[in-house]
Structure 1
Amino acid sequence: MERVKKLAALKARAPLLKPKSDVIRLSLLEVVSRDRSFLFGGNKMVVIELLLMLAISLAVHGQSGDTISPNQSLVDGDTLTSAHGIFELGFFSPPKSNSRYLGIWYKNIALDNETIWVANKGKPLTSSDGVLNLTRDGNLILLDNSGNTLWSTGITNIVNPVVQLRDSGNLVVSERDSNTIKWQTFDYPCDTLLPSMKLGISLGTNFDRHLTSWKSDSDLSPGDYTYQMNPQGVPELFLRKGNAIIYRSGPWNGNGFSGRPDMQENKYFKFNLVSNQDMIYYTYEDLNSSILSRIVLTSDGKVRRFISYTSRPGWSAYWVTPKDDCDTYSTCGNNGVCSSASIPCQCLNGTVAKDQTEWSLRNFTSGCVRQPKNLSCQEIFQELPKVKLPDSSQAISVNRSPEECKCWCLRNSSCMAYSMVEENMCITWTNDLIDIRTFIDGKDSLYVRVGVSEQDCTCVKEPEPKPVFVIVVPVVLGFLFLVCVGLFLCWRNQRRIQVDNTAEQNSGLTMTDSRIEASPRPEIQQTGELRAIGIEGSSANAITNNQSGGGTERSTTTSNFSLDNTAGRVLGIFPSYNLCTIEAATCNFSITNRLGEGAFGIVYKGQLGEGEKVAVKRLKHLAWSAHEFKNELLLIANLQHKNLVCLLGYCIEGNERILILEYMENRSLDIFIYDKEKSILLNCQKRLDIIIGIARGLQYLHQDCNKNVVHRDLKLSNILLDEEMNPKICDFGISRFFEGDKVQERFTTRPMGTIGYMAPEYASYGRFSFKSDVFSFGVLVLEILSGKKNLGMVVDDKRTDLTGYAYRLWREGRSFEILDDVLKSSVPPIEVIRFIRVGLLCVQENNEDRPRMAEVVMMLSSQDVLINSPKPPKESMILTQGDMASSSPQITSMTTGR
């Protein structure tokens, strides 16, 4: 009887034994050796059972996969791997720590060993003797070497339980027969949110799934920060430090959160918010199988999205929030609006700073207070476009049409503002508006209740009767005044036509005259994120070369090119818009629609009545006639190529000269090349495709269009990207047009372009030709592949430029080292080195050594073309504006550009 009891005790201990064959064998033999009567007491059945048990234990250890069954254990040193080898479960120690934790991590991204879930957070193991065991009733338990429970699921009464680590990273406990999930790690996130995980709350049970930061990278105890769904009012995500709100995402607008305008569905991610009577939660999906992503709440209180390509290990930051001061909760206090301007906070119309002294000291947290209402004036709603909607904890959302929403808010005196999201979802605010900020590319508009100003308000007064003569006399005088104005305008228009005709007859200038050069104009320096094609109105300058004297005699004759019937037919291709339509498309040229501003024009984002997005370039009021402006349009009428930005229309009304241009969704190439977070979206093949696209567009300008063009300002910021990342060349404001190949080179005493991209003969001596653009293209190639700017490089503590450094590496057989870090692990070396070599051919010092663009396209497109060895570029292309001015007083540079 005593032997039977010992055997029963041994069976009870078996599930907790380490699944290593030597440990199991020694443990069983140790029990047997302590009671030799097992072997010599004559009870053969007991011995057989014991040996059977040993065999079973050894078989258990030999079993590997993604599951754990009852009586199986996982010990330190062993791991559980998901079916396709994506995730691993096991024991680990954080950096600079000897503590041991049970966790899950990505198996194939071992360089970082970033855990996505930890079981015993705050209760580390002090040695490598931890054991994970699944009991017969389905409880998953983590024990230390003393048999103390450090963590468990607390789930029991499961019939035939099994534990499985899935390829989603979810560790589940389920019934083997029905596959019904009884417990899962996705319900208990730590600091990481994975695709298909839910970040939200169950309304019936108040069960909250949220992220909690670690105290530090080495201390995996719960930290100070949480990131969770706020179910009150209109749902949004809150980042808190303790109970204090640090950041909020803004309410959901149908495509993403209002505070994250860059959060929109694309070919990489899909976002979703589910809100019903049972649950409110946010989730996302990875749409590209070659990219892995995770959202992490780090110990410094930042929420970061990381991505990793399956073709190469390692994580890269994709975005981070809070990103700036305006992301910090209530930076400008109640009724304040935060922007990225030099003075970040402004009060909403109808409110004033609560404490002007604090505001003058740049402490805006006291916010703004409403001014007393003028009961004799109307109230209207003023649109605040492209904003992060206010804190919606106490907001109300109902299904209403835009007109119903506006009327409801207007009828309720307590309604301070409203917004329309998800087509017919009306959100209204009845309290102070907190935590508003503006974005350049925001998606949401807030309509704020304001009183009409005193001078414009419609006062509620009874009209007083007036004598008849008080009405009749002003009407008659007004009519006579209008008649006089009309006659004057007719006379002035007739006079202008006569002057224009005289100028045309006297000038005799044509587009084919090789002595005609459009007057150089400064570059439009665009401070926004979008660059668009620019055509500046210009007069014609007659240049006469005095060959005998060896100098250049310059005489300027201002005239207009003739606008014949052919020109009129060409311009008929482009729609002519009236000023009213353009004002409506740009919200009356609202500052929030502004994309960029330069010396001669401002670019706005607009949306035409049919919903088409456009870029609107409003040229500043200079002395340009409608005739001159139309001739500028005529110059680009025949520039039609898939790698050039299209002109869509124009407006000539009064003094207004406006161009309607194609809108590029992904903005300019420099944003992706120079930004570490966005550069990972341009893999090797995409960058090579962009280079070839630019080359083909430039080849078209140089030889395939009717009037060949030298661009003269080719740079990354003048390459725009459409939705599919196809490149398009823009900004022809300082371009020169030639008829055929007759003119190989021209001279100007005022070279214009961007330092770092200008060919040496152009920057130093004012000589420009098609080969000047070839040099700029070569710089582009090297910048696109390296992710570095041409100027300002420091190598071995010496200041140099990219072209010289790239040539040195090529000469030493180390061209591969110039590549952007995000390309080095997935690049086809031979093809990329060929592109680098072509780029070096384009930046050779002597312009005669540089290839034509047709040859460049052929070398880039075919591996069979023999490519010559490049000669060295100019020793240093680093010239500051001051250096250029001192070297030649006649040279006028434009801007260093981006």
Structure 2
Amino acid sequence: MAVLEQRLLYYVTVLAILLLHCSSFLSAQIPQNYSSTANISTTWINHPLPILNSTNLNTATPILIRGLGFACGFYCNWDGKVSSRDCVFGVLIYQNRFSLPDGYSLLFLQFPQLVWSTNRNNLVQPNATLQLTQDGDLVLANSDGTLVWSSNTAGKSVSGMKLTEMGNLVLFGRNNEIIWQSFDHPTDSLLLGQQLAPGQQLTLTASVSATNLSEGLLSLTISHDGLSAYTESNPPQQYFAYSFYDYPAEFRNGSFGGMDIPPASAAQFMRFGPDGHLKVYEWAGSNWLPVADLLATDFGDCGYPMVCGRYGVCSNGQCGCPETTNSQAAFFSQINFRQPNLGCSLVTPISCDHSQYHSLLELNNTYYFAFNSSSYAKKIKAEDCKNMCLSNCSCKAALFSIDPGEKTSKRKGSCLLLNEVFSMTNHENYMGLYYNTTLFVKVQNHYDKPSRHKIVILAYTLGAFFGVFFVIGSCLVIFRHRLKESNEIEGDFLDQVPGMPTRYSYENLKAATEDFSQKLGEGGFGSVYEGALNDGIKIAVKCLDGLGQVKDSFLVEVKTIGSIHHVNLVKLIGFCFEKSHRLLVYEYMANGSLDRWIFGGKQDHSLPWLTRKKIILDIAKGLAYLHEDCSQKIIHLDIKPQNILLDQHFNAKVSDFGLSKLIDKDQSRFVTTMRGTPGYLAPEWLNSEITEKVDVYSFGIVMLEILCGRKNLDWSKNEEDRHLLNVFKRKAEEEKLQDLVDKKNEDMLIHVEEAVEMMGIAAWCLQGNYTKRPSMSLVVKVLEGLVAAETNLDYDFTNSSVVRTFGDQRQEADDVAASLLLPSALSGPR
């Protein structure tokens, strides 16, 4: 009777909503006879319909249904307003469904759970469309026609789409072979029966929260070796690892990779949640309940990265902030006292401009979840560990641990530098489990206030020189007025320089970018926005932030970069120099940055061989022009895939000269502070003796990434395969370089020999001794087949004989390289 009363209550609630919004729902009527398959040249429109649920009234548009268990279609969060819905296209698992009486022809799914989706970072609205096109591409577009997602299967002989009995959405060919499947592209969930293909690796990314489907900071990588959970920081911080002993890695009834799961008595699914847990849920007759937690830490809930937010300390399940002694001021405060799990914030934010006031708050008996990270600097003293953090502004904390046999603070241990600090754990009651760990958290001290005696002296001084200050103040007023005129004159002067780009007013660019509403990303010294000129030409507008250095950078880019024209350099087509506004207008690059296409990831792009080969040559030509053909030699200093942009025809162009150093053509080398991005820095940076060969080294790294289809540093892989250069060296010694060629694209397998030859050119560019690296103009000739490449190569790419002074000691560069480069991106403000 209770179940009958509950269903009746649901029925009455839904019927009331239907009556209130009759016109909307009646227009959304769809047939009840759903199929599990669909043919090509079919289009579906998102007409949200009610979903029966005990806690909310979300809506859905079912497209395919497989028996009593799975449905695919549009799924929408609903806030109670008919016109306000945010929707994804995905797969739902459910257990009960029923329809309203004839005449409504509406289907209701009870307690559905979203287990896969395509567009959780780019939600669509009612009237969005899903189309299985004639050429076999599955395309999701918003109500205004904007492309949101595509399966990228056009031209691959797709015959139709089906939803399998396991909940796998499949695009199949003429012989029923799988061409594309949702099981290869999971979001945050796995389904019973889902397993890894040979050599496959899957990544689950948790949502921000239970109500916000967007990707959060927590990721879980699953391979045949095991699973690894980590936070998306720089570098990623691992909080859980497990090695499988049961192959293949399959979500079976009762187990997953050797981990035990209660045998299923009803439907089950697995979800990686916003709290960092990997839980198995089972249908309990009236709702979904967790039956297993596969990521159980030694500290319970306190062992997860976000349990107490950033800088939060978890103790026996309670959240607080790092405490200080009675003689110290409080450095942290809770963000929300009513919700301590939201974390803590620094009372005084850390400022790199006042690093002399930085200090480290020592937290004993404190465990940090990244304790088992492989990025430790080994065999150093605690004081050296602290100094490493204090000398690097990007470092927010240092984790130091001493081996069991080491008994005094003078002994050496392991040091891990952290760029971000998430939840910490007070392990005072677990001393037998984690030994001798200390967390040094960087804080900003208040500036010392002058003493009463100094204030008195200052008062007399001010009185005595009041007249002088009055004169100085008057001069400042006059100077400010003239400076304003000077700025305008300087701006007018830019208009008179021959060959200068077009000058735009701030209001023109504000209108062109629709009030800077479409942000493309972060660029040098500011943000980049998409826009369009009056003639329809699309542009990218970089807004420079702040004053001082920004002004100098602006003048350098406009006067120097604006006069440089090369097919493989992003063109500066205009600028704005108006009052405090400094903006640069660049040509728009339709295909974005190179990293999106070679690292795959969530969009899983894959480039054919000829395209990759052309991109490598384009980059080389752009750098050769900067190094040798400009009136001033330009060294980029930050070559990486993110700074290589691709136009609509996949022509590669070098971008972002914010870190470039302009030098005279007859100047062979110069000394500068370390800048750039870890993983792409040449060994000679440790000696601060820099030539254009640092760009050649970075080019070699990028070249390898393009050929191998992976990042230089990939934390999802085993420790021995994590660094691409280490794998490259090992495979070269084994004469198995063909194993490194990217196999995501079948076309690459046809050109393995050519790819291996090009790896030899990359190795030439990566020589540890910069004098043995080729110039970029020579690289261009080799790539064009005009000159033979050097074959007598040293594969120890990080080897450097330079010596650098560090603290009070002189250490070999090889000993300090890891501790200097691993923790952070050293490029500083861009």
Larger Rg: 1
Question: How does the TM-score come out when normalised to structure 1?
Answer: 0.44
